[in-house]
Amino acid sequence: MESSAKLYFQIATTSGVPIYRQVIDQVKMNIATSRFKPEDFLPSVRQVAAELEVNPMTISKAYSILEKEGVLEYVRGKGMRISASEAPHEDLKEREEAITPLLREVITKASQLALGPDKISELFAKMWKEHDDE
């Protein structure tokens, strides 16, 4: 997993959710959707911090919390990898819980912009189609 950190993490500085929490949630979501597999290595703290233009301590905090939770494990000289015990979560409820915070952010922002559910659904469907076409 030596690719760009921007491929794995997208930070929304205006979301009100702390950056370290966004990283934690995205690692867990990527595990739940099998994008990250057991024993995959994550990009280094320095790489993620530099590419996302955030303080390295922020990324270190996220990785540390994930390590304490048993999601990540430190491999001396190589970095952090997904714990071998982290099997993909096929449970629909867990996947729904992983996306719920993002949907809440969308609803809040849509409400602030006076965009109703119909317009958001229309935009979502359009973006989903564009994503599938890529």
Domain boundaries defined on the chain: 5-82, 92-133
DSSP three-state, residue 62? helix
CATH pick for 5-82 out of 3.40.228.10, 1.10.3720.10, 3.50.50.60, 1.10.10.10: 1.10.10.10
Contacts for 110 with CB less than 8 Å, ≥ 6 apart: 116, 119, 120
3-state secondary structure of 74: strand
Tokens read off for 28: 């867990």
pTM as predicted: 0.64
- Tell me which residue has tokens 């990250």: 36
Query: Over the stretch 86-120, which tens digit does the pLDDT of each residue have?
Result: 555 456 777 788 788 888 888 999 999 999 999 99
Burial 58-78 (b: 16+ CB within 10 A, else e): bbbbbbbbbeeeebbeeeeee
Q: Are 22 and 15 in contact (CB under 8 A)?
A: yes
Say yes or no to pLDDT of 43 above 80: yes
Percent of the chain with pLDDT over 90: 47
